[in-house]
A and B are shown apart, each in its own frame.
Chain A
């Protein structure tokens, strides 16, 4: 097995350490149990002795009572005084005594024998009858230890509650209590009462109370030594009566080893009851507990070890797999003495640091990707199913979309990034409550794709409001303006591109409309026609032909102002510019400056770049000036040729108040055909004669109108047949009605 790492050992040891708790508990329990067993044993011994004491004391006190009664019996005392041989009277007394004894002892199974030994006559009165001491001895007390003589001698001595143990020949074992009659007159030993108790009774009473086979109950008497010692002979014989105090002691027995001895004194006789219990018994009980404890401990140990091993494995494995994982992916090797937890901690910190970085990267990537997809959406008709969009976090799940392009005011580059960021954030934030908005940066601009449930104006109004709010906010808080170009609301994702194109198209209106918010829907409905009449062109051409750049410029500016002062579409603007350029070219051509188109390179100035109106005007004025200058140069070269036209013009100047004046009248005056007159005039001035007449009349009318004449008054004064034709002609020439013109003043 591979060497386990330190932490594994530590963990395992800590689990094993917990095993010390039951070990300690077991030790305490064992010690306590031992005490309890000993205490209980002592108590049991005490109880036993008390029982023995109660029982035997009762019996012995009965015996003593009988003995005392007999000792004090006058009949006994009387007979005891008979010195030689009994008379018939004495025989009667003996008979009575015999009957007495019968009644005394019959009920006592403890007492086997009651007799009275009469010392003087050497006779015995007993339960078995009256007889000579010799016969009595022979019949009942013959034994090896005490001869008849000894028996007589013993019985002849004074006694008081003495005991003598006699083992008879027939096997009966008797404990003989003796008491001499209490007759003070005769020296003593006149009669001795003997009460025999069956030793077997004593024995069975004692042994029946022994609660364990190995224990012994014994009796020790003060002068006779052991009366009953059971099987603990050697021990009991060795005990000295006077040295035995009540209570428990320990002693040593040859056969049993150390013993516990409990002693209790008899209350009625100089006996001590002794209970002998081999310590082995206590030890045995204790040993059983010890055995059980050890077995349990061993079991606990094995189970605990197993559990510890299991738990360590279970708890270490996750740790180990963690460590392994880090080891596998990490570059740092764990040192032998490193604390695994600290190491892991460090690894974790490391890991999470890296994880955060990666997240940031992924986020940035996701942003780029999203931007890319948005870009695609804007730049091309989308033909996917939207899944990849959703993966990138682009949520345009409603049916309609509209693209808004924000074009922040350009300052220097650094600010542009900030501005874009500001716009994106603010607008995103503003709209997120109402719409799904995706923002993308497109070059300098910011594109917002707003997702709408339908194309109703309700949403557009809100959107417009948001845009205005944004613009107000950028202007106020960030000090920059921001143009918003909003395409039309288009259906589907593929509509985004359409909307984008529309929005992009609106850019050209920025200059034209001079507004911050341009909405495609508003713009598309702008006038596509413009008011640039041939007369006005003719006038300008005439002015150019005449080299009158002031006049021409005035006229031209009028046209521009007239047409470009309101909202106009870019196309209109473009067309007008081209028309004007055409006018310039034609005017130059009439003036004889036929190479103007080539030399001035007109289209360059207008096609590529849209110019604000004032710049446009300046440019055109400049061009006019250059052309007129050239024309005048060329006119000076051809001045003679114009004398005829001046005559015509002078004639007309004198006669134009005549409503009948026309080309025919004029030709008649000069005697040429009207056609010829017109062609020569046109050739010389670059304009038609009729136009000149009308110009004269209108100019005069204008003066009159300025002078305060009414339209009706002015018409005949300026050579118009009626006011109707005057108004028509005036309008055609100036673009406004005479009334309107007059109201200017």
Chain B
């Protein structure tokens, strides 16, 4: 029996190799390669099923933990809140529990901090791939996920999902919009995705300003550009803020999601227009209006004069020491952190979230910051080096089931959370860690819910993670817009397109960034905006838009 199984496996493997070889030589038929790999995956999966966990083919009979088997290697970045206390994810209670729950031994491999992309390139070059790799396969693999499959780096997962992943399959069936996001244009699944479980989790960035100053100055939270002008001017004049509005200009995410640009229904980057087409905001007339306001404010000293080079340290310092009165950022890492820091010296310090501003008073905000539920980040692909595909698939699928969902978001019941009236409530182990760990670090020991990973993020984590009332309010305030209609879906240009696209956009973006600053600083007259737009068009903007629109069409066609 054993011998027969082995020979069966070998035959399958050999067939796979042979077919893969043919496919590799015959570049014209990528489908053949895919087919072969799929067959190989299926074949070996069957072999493993009859050999190992037993009854794997019938989903109803399967249950965790799996029978002991081969060790799997799992490559992922170790987030700072984990690395502060642990050298490896496998050392954390979360990592240990995950292995125990699934019955799978995992060897965690972590790139040195800050070298995620370099290490990724090295591993690919080396060719000795870990079984599982957590990465942003959508945006960070050169040429995109389809290329990764064609390159023979990762496996297409359609058959794998069907055979071994009942949980994820069920979730995708219930969430077709997400299902659409995590596929390639060719319809291949390629990762076990990180999914923000609710739209609320997608509104992460927004404006905030000193509520105590507003109170003191008897001002309302501003909702329009004009109100903002009033408030900032008051801050400058009444509160002596040298840089009333100050934000991390060097953080691209903030620039792209600049609420004041959104107020003019534009963005510095691509957005989905009401016409269903892709637009490049920085080349449109609305952007000129936005820049006009910004230049005016800068000239009036309402914006930090050092705006161009502002980093988080400076912003943090300026907000907390009162040099600045308004900023933008996340509710947790910015609002919460700053408030905590400032209150040690200024107990009345309070920040309040401001809604997406509009030009017209009382108008509904059309644009607003919102992330796609699937951003591509922290999603796990099974590499072609993986031997025990079923085991790997079942390990990953665990997180999308009911048990796994709770485990990834709340950890172990009785230890890191307790069910109170059906609500998973973090224990004091997390919220008031006896070892004095910050909540974020305590959480990171037990869950992945507070950062990311191959699972569906639960909003209930955030509800408990935000400790301040003003933090808890942010989701409602910042999400009050039609932003979701304008955010670019996770489109995937083809590898050829993406290369061309990035070449064009590198140049355009650099030019745009420089010109934007010049316009704001006033060193470049806004009269030259048309020249600026023309220059960008000369750089191939139209082609970039064409590529994006084509990708969008393919996406919509999924």
**Chain A interface residues toward B at CB < 8 A:** 86, 88-89, 91-92, 94-95, 98, 125, 128-131, 135, 138-140
- The residue from B298, B310, B518, B521 contacting A129, defined by CB atoms under 8 A apart: B310
A-B contact pairs, 30 of them (CB 8 A): A88-B298, A88-B522, A89-B523, A91-B305, A91-B306, A91-B307, A91-B523, A92-B308, A92-B517, A92-B521, A92-B523, A94-B306, A94-B308, A94-B309, A95-B309, A128-B309, A128-B311, A128-B313, A128-B314, A129-B309, A129-B313, A130-B306, A131-B306, A131-B314, A135-B314, A135-B318, A138-B317, A139-B314, A139-B317, A140-B313
Q: Are A129 and B305 in contact (CB under 8 A)?
A: no
13 further A-B contacts with Cβ under 8 Å, apart from A92-B308, A129-B306, are A88-B521, A89-B523, A91-B523, A92-B517, A94-B306, A95-B517, A128-B309, A129-B311, A130-B309, A131-B306, A135-B318, A138-B317, A140-B313
Q: Chain B contacts of A129 at CB under 8 A?
A: 250, 306, 309-311, 313-314
A95 to B307, CA, bound (A): 9
Q: Is the interface of B mostly helix, strand, loop or mixed?
A: helix
Q: B254 → chain A, closest Cβ, in Å?
A: 14
Interface hub of B307, B309, B318, B517 (most chain A Cβ within 10 A): B309
Query: Within 8 Å CB of B523, what residues of A?
Result: 88-89, 91-92
CA distance A458 to B118 in the complex (A): 126
A88 to B521, CA, bound (A): 5
Distance in Å: Cβ of A85 to nearest Cβ of chain B: 9
Residue on A nearest B521 in the bound complex, by CB: A88
Residues on B with C-beta less than 8 A from A139 are: 313-314, 317
Kindly provide the distance from the CB of A435 to the nearest chain B CB, expressed in whole angstroms. 101
Contact A86 B305 (CB under 8 A): yes
Give Cα distance in the complex from A15 to B313, angstroms. 85
B522's closest neighbor in chain A, by CB? Answer: A88
- CA gap between A312 and B517 in the complex, in Å: 104
* CA gap between A138 and B314 in the complex, in Å: 10
- Which residues of B line the A interface, CB within 8 A? 250, 298, 305-311, 313-314, 317-318, 517-518, 521-523
Closest Cβ of chain A to B319, distance in Å, is: 12
Distance between Cα atoms of A139 and B310 in the complex (Å): 13
The 10 closest A-B pairs by CB, nearest first: A129-B309, A95-B308, A88-B521, A98-B309, A130-B309, A129-B311, A130-B306, A128-B311, A88-B523, A88-B522
B323 CB → nearest A CB, Å: 8
Set of chain B residues within 8 Å of A92, measured between Cβ atoms = 308, 517-518, 521, 523
Q: Which residue of B lies closest to A123 (CB)?
A: B306
Query: Separation in Å of the A456 CB from the closest CB of chain B?
Result: 103
> For residue A109, which residue of chain B has the nearest CB?
B114
Q: CA of A92 to CA of B307 in the docked complex: distance in angstroms?
A: 10
Distance in angstroms from B238 CB to nearest chain A CB is 22
Closest to A139 in B: B313
Q: Which residue of B lies closest to A136 (CB)?
A: B314
CA distance A91 to B250 in the complex (A): 15
Asked if B521 and A135 make an inter-chain contact with CB atoms under 8 angstroms apart, the answer reads no
Question: In the assembled complex, which residues on chain B have CB atoms less than 8 Å from the CB atom of A140?
Answer: 313
CB neighbours (8 Å) of B309 from chain A are 94-95, 98, 125, 128-131
Q: How far is the CB of B106 from chain A (nearest CB, A)?
A: 30
Q: Which of B305, B310, B517 neighbours the largest number of chain A CB atoms within 10 Å of its CB?
A: B305
Q: For residue A131, which residues in chain B have a CB less than 8 angstroms away from its CB?
A: 306, 309, 314
A638 to B107, CA, bound (A): 182
Q: Who on chain B is nearest to A88 by CB?
A: B521
Instruction: Tell me the smallest distance from the CB of B104 to a CB of chain A, in Å.
Output: 36
Closest CB in chain A relative to B295 CB, distance in Å: 9
Neighbouring A residues of B305 by C-beta, 8 Å: 86, 91
Q: For B317, what are the chain A residues with a Cβ–Cβ distance below 8 Å?
A: 135, 138-139
Q: How far is the CB of A126 from chain B (nearest CB, A)?
A: 8
Give the Cβ gap from B121 to chain A, nearest Cβ, in Å.
Answer: 15
With both beta carbons as reference points, the residue of chain A lying nearest to B308 in the complex is identified as A95
With A92-B521, A92-B523, A129-B250: A98-B308 Cβ-Cβ less than 8 Å: yes
Tell me the complex Cα distance, A89–B308, Å: 12
Among A91, A125, A128: residue with most chain B CB under 10 A: A91
Contacts of A89 in B (CB 8 A): 521, 523
A128 CA / B248 CA spacing, docked (Å):
11
Report Cα–Cα, A129/B521, bound state, in Å.
16
Residues of chain A within 8 A of B313, CB atoms compared: 128-129, 139-140
Residues of B within 8 A of A91 (CB): 305-308, 521, 523
A135–B521 Cα distance when bound, in Å, is 22
Bound-state Cα–Cα, A92 to B309, Å: 10
- CB neighbours of B307 from chain A (8 A): 91
- Tell me which residues across on chain B come within 8 A of A130, comparing CB atoms: 306, 308-309
CA gap between A95 and B521 in the complex, in Å: 11
Closest to B299 in A: A88
A86 to B301, CA, bound (A): 13
Nearest CB of chain B from residue A22's CB, rounded to whole Å: 54
Give the nearest-CB partner of A97 in chain B. Answer: B309
Which residue of chain B has the shortest Cβ distance to A89 in the bound complex?
B523
A94 to B298, CA, bound (A): 16
Contacts of B522 in A (CB 8 A): 88
Closest Cβ–Cβ distance, residue A663 to chain B (whole Å): 163
